[in-house]
Structure 1
Amino acid sequence: MLWGAGGITIGSNVHIGAHVSISAHEARQIPPSKTDTFTPLEFDFAPVIIEDHVLICSGTVIVPGVKIGHHAMIGGGSVVTKDIPPYALAAGCPARVLRSNGPDVAGSTLAVDSAGGWDPLNLSGSGPE
Protein backbone atom coordinates (compact mmCIF):
# COMPACT_ATOMS: atom_id res chain seq x y z
CA MET A 1 0.00 0.00 0.00
CA LEU A 2 1.37 3.39 -0.95
CA TRP A 3 0.21 6.60 0.76
CA GLY A 4 2.22 9.19 -1.12
CA ALA A 5 0.85 12.66 -0.41
CA GLY A 6 4.24 13.70 1.01
CA GLY A 7 6.14 12.24 -1.95
CA ILE A 8 7.53 8.74 -2.47
CA THR A 9 10.63 8.18 -4.62
CA ILE A 10 11.48 4.60 -5.58
CA GLY A 11 14.74 3.92 -7.42
CA SER A 12 15.45 1.29 -10.07
CA ASN A 13 15.62 -2.44 -9.38
CA VAL A 14 13.76 -2.13 -6.08
CA HIS A 15 12.01 -5.32 -4.97
CA ILE A 16 8.98 -4.83 -2.71
CA GLY A 17 7.36 -7.85 -1.06
CA ALA A 18 3.68 -8.49 -0.41
CA HIS A 19 1.75 -6.43 2.14
CA VAL A 20 4.36 -3.66 2.40
CA SER A 21 3.03 -0.28 3.55
CA ILE A 22 4.86 2.92 2.57
CA SER A 23 3.43 6.19 3.86
CA ALA A 24 4.64 9.73 3.21
CA HIS A 25 1.99 11.36 5.37
CA GLU A 26 0.17 10.68 8.62
CA ALA A 27 -2.69 12.24 10.54
CA ARG A 28 -1.88 14.36 13.58
CA GLN A 29 -3.17 13.08 16.88
CA ILE A 30 -6.08 15.05 18.27
CA PRO A 31 -7.22 14.78 21.90
CA PRO A 32 -10.74 13.31 22.21
CA SER A 33 -11.96 16.54 23.83
CA LYS A 34 -11.12 18.49 20.66
CA THR A 35 -12.78 16.09 18.22
CA ASP A 36 -15.27 17.72 15.88
CA THR A 37 -16.83 15.67 13.10
CA PHE A 38 -17.00 18.74 10.86
CA THR A 39 -13.30 19.67 11.16
CA PRO A 40 -11.04 17.96 8.61
CA LEU A 41 -8.05 16.00 9.88
CA GLU A 42 -4.65 17.68 9.78
CA PHE A 43 -1.74 15.77 8.28
CA ASP A 44 2.05 15.86 8.55
CA PHE A 45 3.87 15.28 5.26
CA ALA A 46 7.44 13.98 4.80
CA PRO A 47 8.95 12.31 1.71
CA VAL A 48 10.08 8.69 1.61
CA ILE A 49 13.15 7.94 -0.53
CA ILE A 50 14.08 4.41 -1.53
CA GLU A 51 17.31 4.33 -3.53
CA ASP A 52 18.36 1.81 -6.22
CA HIS A 53 18.72 -1.96 -5.70
CA VAL A 54 16.83 -2.17 -2.40
CA LEU A 55 15.02 -5.29 -1.15
CA ILE A 56 12.01 -4.72 1.11
CA CYS A 57 10.59 -8.01 2.40
CA SER A 58 6.92 -8.79 3.04
CA GLY A 59 4.95 -7.08 5.76
CA THR A 60 7.33 -4.15 6.20
CA VAL A 61 6.00 -0.75 7.26
CA ILE A 62 7.91 2.40 6.22
CA VAL A 63 6.88 5.63 7.97
CA PRO A 64 7.11 9.20 6.61
CA GLY A 65 10.49 10.94 6.35
CA VAL A 66 12.64 7.81 5.92
CA LYS A 67 15.47 7.32 3.41
CA ILE A 68 16.65 3.80 2.56
CA GLY A 69 20.12 3.74 1.00
CA HIS A 70 21.07 1.84 -2.14
CA HIS A 71 21.62 -1.93 -1.92
CA ALA A 72 19.97 -2.10 1.52
CA MET A 73 17.86 -5.07 2.62
CA ILE A 74 14.91 -4.75 5.00
CA GLY A 75 13.77 -7.93 6.80
CA GLY A 76 10.16 -9.06 6.72
CA GLY A 77 7.75 -7.52 9.21
CA SER A 78 10.09 -4.64 10.02
CA VAL A 79 8.93 -1.15 10.94
CA VAL A 80 11.36 1.39 9.44
CA THR A 81 11.27 4.58 11.52
CA LYS A 82 14.78 5.95 10.81
CA ASP A 83 17.08 6.25 7.81
CA ILE A 84 18.86 3.06 6.69
CA PRO A 85 22.37 3.48 5.24
CA PRO A 86 23.53 1.98 1.92
CA TYR A 87 24.40 -1.75 1.92
CA ALA A 88 22.81 -2.29 5.33
CA LEU A 89 20.78 -5.27 6.46
CA ALA A 90 18.07 -3.97 8.81
CA ALA A 91 15.24 -5.75 10.59
CA GLY A 92 12.99 -5.53 13.61
CA CYS A 93 10.35 -3.33 15.16
CA PRO A 94 11.66 -0.69 15.05
CA ALA A 95 14.14 -1.68 12.34
CA ARG A 96 17.79 -1.69 13.42
CA VAL A 97 20.88 -2.05 11.27
CA LEU A 98 22.24 -5.56 11.88
CA ARG A 99 25.23 -5.49 9.54
CA SER A 100 26.66 -4.13 6.32
CA ASN A 101 26.74 -6.04 3.06
CA GLY A 102 29.04 -3.58 1.31
CA PRO A 103 31.42 -4.91 -1.35
CA ASP A 104 34.42 -3.16 0.19
CA VAL A 105 33.72 -4.32 3.74
CA ALA A 106 33.08 -8.02 3.24
CA GLY A 107 32.45 -9.76 6.52
CA SER A 108 32.42 -6.61 8.62
CA THR A 109 29.48 -4.90 10.28
CA LEU A 110 28.57 -1.29 10.83
CA ALA A 111 29.79 0.27 14.05
CA VAL A 112 26.92 1.06 16.38
CA ASP A 113 27.16 3.84 18.93
CA SER A 114 25.88 3.62 22.50
CA ALA A 115 22.53 5.12 21.48
CA GLY A 116 21.93 2.34 18.93
CA GLY A 117 22.67 4.54 15.90
CA TRP A 118 25.09 3.67 13.13
CA ASP A 119 28.33 5.35 12.18
CA PRO A 120 28.66 5.47 8.37
CA LEU A 121 32.34 6.40 8.61
CA ASN A 122 33.32 3.44 10.78
CA LEU A 123 32.61 0.21 8.92
CA SER A 124 35.09 -1.94 10.83
CA GLY A 125 33.22 -2.09 14.15
CA SER A 126 31.84 -5.28 15.58
CA GLY A 127 28.24 -4.07 15.62
CA PRO A 128 25.68 -4.66 18.35
CA GLU A 129 26.20 -7.48 20.79
Structure 2
Amino acid sequence: MFEETTLSLNDLVLPIFVEEEIDDYKAVEAMPGVMRIPEKHLAREIERIANAGIRSVMTFGISHHTDETGSDAWREDGLVARMSRICKQTVPEMIVMSDTCSVNTLLTVTAVCCASMASTTTRLWKI
Protein backbone atom coordinates (compact mmCIF):
# COMPACT_ATOMS: atom_id res chain seq x y z
CA MET A 1 0.00 0.00 0.00
CA PHE A 2 2.76 2.48 0.78
CA GLU A 3 4.27 2.05 -2.67
CA GLU A 4 1.03 3.34 -4.18
CA THR A 5 1.12 6.55 -2.16
CA THR A 6 3.14 9.53 -3.28
CA LEU A 7 3.51 12.97 -1.81
CA SER A 8 4.90 15.94 -3.71
CA LEU A 9 4.99 19.71 -3.47
CA ASN A 10 1.83 19.74 -5.59
CA ASP A 11 0.01 18.11 -2.67
CA LEU A 12 0.95 20.81 -0.17
CA VAL A 13 -0.91 23.98 0.79
CA LEU A 14 1.21 26.61 2.50
CA PRO A 15 -0.63 28.74 5.06
CA ILE A 16 0.45 32.37 4.96
CA PHE A 17 -0.51 35.14 7.34
CA VAL A 18 -0.83 38.59 5.81
CA GLU A 19 -1.32 41.77 7.82
CA GLU A 20 -2.29 45.10 6.35
CA GLU A 21 -0.77 48.40 7.46
CA ILE A 22 2.49 46.99 8.84
CA ASP A 23 5.96 47.65 7.46
CA ASP A 24 7.97 44.77 8.85
CA TYR A 25 7.48 41.04 9.23
CA LYS A 26 6.12 40.12 12.66
CA ALA A 27 6.30 36.79 14.46
CA VAL A 28 3.15 34.77 15.07
CA GLU A 29 3.91 34.17 18.72
CA ALA A 30 1.80 31.03 19.01
CA MET A 31 3.67 29.44 16.06
CA PRO A 32 7.46 29.66 16.36
CA GLY A 33 9.13 30.32 13.03
CA VAL A 34 5.95 31.62 11.37
CA MET A 35 5.77 35.28 10.39
CA ARG A 36 2.99 37.71 9.53
CA ILE A 37 3.79 39.10 6.09
CA PRO A 38 3.23 42.80 5.45
CA GLU A 39 0.65 43.13 2.67
CA LYS A 40 3.09 45.26 0.68
CA HIS A 41 5.51 42.28 0.56
CA LEU A 42 2.93 39.66 -0.43
CA ALA A 43 3.80 39.62 -4.15
CA ARG A 44 7.48 39.01 -3.37
CA GLU A 45 6.57 36.19 -0.98
CA ILE A 46 4.23 34.56 -3.51
CA GLU A 47 7.05 34.59 -6.09
CA ARG A 48 9.41 33.03 -3.55
CA ILE A 49 6.83 30.37 -2.65
CA ALA A 50 6.19 29.53 -6.33
CA ASN A 51 9.93 29.37 -7.04
CA ALA A 52 10.22 26.81 -4.24
CA GLY A 53 7.72 24.63 -6.12
CA ILE A 54 4.67 25.16 -3.94
CA ARG A 55 1.55 25.75 -6.03
CA SER A 56 -1.16 26.29 -3.39
CA VAL A 57 -1.51 28.77 -0.53
CA MET A 58 -4.14 29.49 2.06
CA THR A 59 -4.21 33.13 3.06
CA PHE A 60 -5.10 34.25 6.55
CA GLY A 61 -5.62 38.00 6.65
CA ILE A 62 -5.15 40.21 9.66
CA SER A 63 -7.30 43.23 8.92
CA HIS A 64 -7.19 46.50 10.80
CA HIS A 65 -10.66 47.40 9.50
CA THR A 66 -13.01 45.26 11.56
CA ASP A 67 -16.60 45.92 12.43
CA GLU A 68 -19.50 44.13 14.08
CA THR A 69 -20.45 42.30 10.88
CA GLY A 70 -17.05 41.30 9.53
CA SER A 71 -17.73 43.27 6.34
CA ASP A 72 -14.04 43.47 5.40
CA ALA A 73 -14.31 39.79 4.41
CA TRP A 74 -16.71 40.49 1.55
CA ARG A 75 -15.78 43.99 0.44
CA GLU A 76 -14.17 44.27 -3.01
CA ASP A 77 -11.46 46.45 -1.47
CA GLY A 78 -11.16 44.35 1.70
CA LEU A 79 -8.05 42.46 2.68
CA VAL A 80 -9.35 39.04 1.55
CA ALA A 81 -10.02 40.33 -1.97
CA ARG A 82 -6.73 42.24 -2.13
CA MET A 83 -4.71 39.20 -1.03
CA SER A 84 -6.36 37.02 -3.68
CA ARG A 85 -5.77 39.60 -6.40
CA ILE A 86 -2.11 40.07 -5.46
CA CYS A 87 -1.50 36.30 -5.45
CA LYS A 88 -3.22 35.69 -8.80
CA GLN A 89 -1.64 38.72 -10.51
CA THR A 90 1.81 37.65 -9.32
CA VAL A 91 1.54 33.91 -10.06
CA PRO A 92 -1.65 33.27 -12.08
CA GLU A 93 -1.37 29.48 -11.78
CA MET A 94 -1.17 29.64 -7.96
CA ILE A 95 -4.15 28.01 -6.24
CA VAL A 96 -5.35 30.49 -3.62
CA MET A 97 -7.68 29.61 -0.77
CA SER A 98 -8.70 32.26 1.74
CA ASP A 99 -9.72 31.95 5.34
CA THR A 100 -12.44 34.38 6.29
CA CYS A 101 -13.48 35.32 9.77
CA SER A 102 -16.90 36.87 10.10
CA VAL A 103 -17.34 37.40 13.79
CA ASN A 104 -19.40 39.43 16.16
CA THR A 105 -18.18 42.03 18.61
CA LEU A 106 -17.07 39.36 21.07
CA LEU A 107 -13.80 39.15 19.12
CA THR A 108 -12.83 42.71 19.92
CA VAL A 109 -13.84 42.36 23.56
CA THR A 110 -12.35 38.96 24.39
CA ALA A 111 -10.03 38.10 21.47
CA VAL A 112 -12.04 34.90 21.04
CA CYS A 113 -13.25 34.17 17.52
CA CYS A 114 -16.89 33.21 17.64
CA ALA A 115 -19.95 33.72 15.51
CA SER A 116 -23.56 32.77 15.64
CA MET A 117 -24.63 30.22 13.05
CA ALA A 118 -27.48 32.37 11.73
CA SER A 119 -25.43 35.52 11.22
CA THR A 120 -22.44 33.61 9.87
CA THR A 121 -24.53 31.84 7.24
CA THR A 122 -26.00 35.15 6.09
CA ARG A 123 -22.55 36.74 5.87
CA LEU A 124 -21.03 33.78 4.00
CA TRP A 125 -23.55 34.33 1.19
CA LYS A 126 -22.04 37.79 0.68
CA ILE A 127 -18.51 36.42 0.44
TM-score band (shorter)? Answer: under 0.3
Structure scoring higher RCO (CA < 8 A, sep ≥ 6) equals: 2
**Greater fraction of residues in helix:** 2
TM-score (norm 2): 0.24
